[in-house]
Structure 1
């Protein structure tokens, strides 16, 4: 665990400094006039990673309630440290993941790039896709990365190889979201954010019909394989949500999309 300073001047705990800065850049693109939050709202952050979303929201809305879920121990320890750093007593963290059923599964943890960690590490099998994602990230990196223009593209393969080096298999606990809603006695969810590297459709499938009544807004990062983007979009439309789908400039050459939904 180390500290890094974000472009907004905030110092946070992280595992990889550059990745943390990139995640912050990614999350700042979540909020425009489509998704709206207020003080005391209840947020569920599925796939919280090190808690950058919770830190940002706690700074803007000091009374906001955030429940953050991260199943990988090494990442969770940083998330826990950042919940304390936030000074928001309503920013809580849980050391398990969310899926469509209660089980223990094997996840792949990438120590050099924790945000890539997934139960579906085959999504990173394509070296070409990884290089294109890396290229997009570099081209759309935070503005204070002045040095990015000096990285020659022929070195990208080296950097990508390092990102996925020394991967580990980790056994983690998962629960369906409906069970968590019951355990936490939640009566409303103002924002459900899902970013779990290929498992987003399982999170959606783990929500009982009656639970959809209390969910008002969603932000979902979707890896569009096997028609998952259209599947989730159609499901949410049938539930009465208005949908907005974007692909960030950094991800234009990938299958990754951000889906925003509100009632």
Structure 2
């Protein structure tokens, strides 16, 4: 029996609903959460993944949530303060291979697409990729059965118009740090679940883990962007460190060139 879903504060209400639908896909291929677990939520946004874990475990969890973008971190910190009973630490920086200051593109009307890898030069190509994935999701029955019968060209036009919000972006200078430094600083002696959703910077996050800390990590689930180019490298990192690895990509993810990597001891 788990507690009722927390109604989080959010920047855009539709995004909480979208992320709630997505979260279930993280718990597959043996990835589980047990009471008393320690979870790292890397790329936390407003804390939907963290809330799901907290609800599943009736609050018996310790969560460290990383969100470097100031507008999102402010909301995450408010959620931590009001809903997590001291169990969530909201950290105001991202993770990378080393200490650095990076420019992040922030999309106020679609914050889930914010990234250090997106900018005015490539956002249009990304918008088309995201459009293709949403069209495929609709064709698979997402967003209700009625839309499945709308011709694909019409869907692409409608979705593309909605995603014009991705053309409106802000640039924020943010801090990133290596995970090993954070583990030392926070006194974290085990990581029962490492969740990574960082919009293309997944390898940078994993490169910030020193060899001495890999034995502390029991499970990981990573959303991988640029699936065709990055999947094998991500899988190799985990298999080299003794994990059983599963890689998964559904039709909707294929349209977006993303996928999921699950790694379990």
Query: Same-fold call, TM > 0.5?
Result: yes
**Structure 2 matches for 1:146-185, cutoff 5 A?**
152-153=154-155, 154-162=157-165, 164-185=166-187
Question: Cα distance, 1:238 vs. partner?
Answer: 1.3
C-alpha distance in 2, partners of 1:138/1:88? Answer: 38
1:198, 1:222 within 8 Å by CA — same for their partners in 2? yes
1:3 — aligned with what?
Answer: none
Segments of structure 1 that go 5 or more residues without pairing to the other structure are 1-7
Change in 2 beyond 3 A, CA 1:125/1:201: farther
What TM-score results when the alignment is normalised by the length of structure 1? 0.89
How far apart, CA to CA, are the structure 2 residues paired with 1:226 and 1:94?
31
| Contact preservation (8 Å) 1:25, 1:141 | no
Q: Name the counterpart of 1:212.
A: 214
For residues 160 and 34 of structure 1, the distance between their equivalents in structure 2, rounded to whole angstroms, comes to 35
What are the residue-to-residue correspondences of 1:200-239 with 2, within 5 Å?
Answer: 200-224=202-226, 227-239=229-241
**Mapped partners of 2:140, 2:7: distance in 1:** 22
Structure 2 residue aligned with 1:79? 76
Tell me which residue corresponds to 1:107: 104
Matches within 5 A, 1:1-263: 10-32=6-28, 34-61=30-57, 62-121=59-118, 124-126=123-125, 127-139=127-139, 152-153=154-155, 154-162=157-165, 164-224=166-226, 227-263=229-265
Q: CA deviation at 1:141?
A: 7.5
The secondary structure found in structure 2 opposite 1:66 is strand
SS in 2 for 1:121: coil
Where does structure 1 differ by over 6 angstroms across 4 or more consecutive aligned residues?
none
Deviating more after overlay: 122-131 vs 62-71: 122-131
Verify the 8 A CA contact 1:25 1:142 in the aligned structure 2.
Answer: no
Change (3 A) 1:148 1:78: farther
Where do 5+ consecutive residues of structure 2 fail to align?
none
Measure how far apart 1:228 and its partner are: 1.6
C-alpha separation in 1, matches of 2:170 and 2:191: 34
